[in-house]
Structure 1
Amino acid sequence: MTQFDKETLAPFFEEWEAIREDIAALYAGQDRQVIGIMTTAIEKYQELLEYGGQEPNERTGKIDYILLPLNGEERFEFVKAKIASHYAYVQLDALYTETKKKVARLAIRKR
Structure 2
Amino acid sequence: MMISVQQEAISKEAVDAWHGKWETLRETIHAAHERRDGSAQQFMIEGIGHFEQFIVDSSVTDAPFSVQSEYELMPINGMERLQFIKARPGQYACYRQLDELYKETKKRCARLRIKK
TM-score for both structures, normalised by structure 1: 0.84
Aligned length in residues? 104
More relative contact order in 1 or in 2 (CA 8 Å, sep 6+)? 2
| 2:45 is the alignment partner of 1:2 | no
Q: 1:23 aligns to what SS in structure 2? A: helix
| 2:91 is the alignment partner of 1:85 | yes
- State the partner residue of 1:38: 44
| Residue type at the aligned position of 2:91 | S
TM-score for both structures, normalised by structure 2: 0.81
**Unmatched 5+ stretches in structure 2:** 62-67
The alignment-based identity, stated in percent, is 36
8 Å Cα contact 1:69-1:98 kept in structure 2: yes
Runs (4+) of structure 1 exceeding 6 A deviation are none
Whole-Å Cα distance in 1 between the matches of residues 20 and 102 of structure 2?
Answer: 10
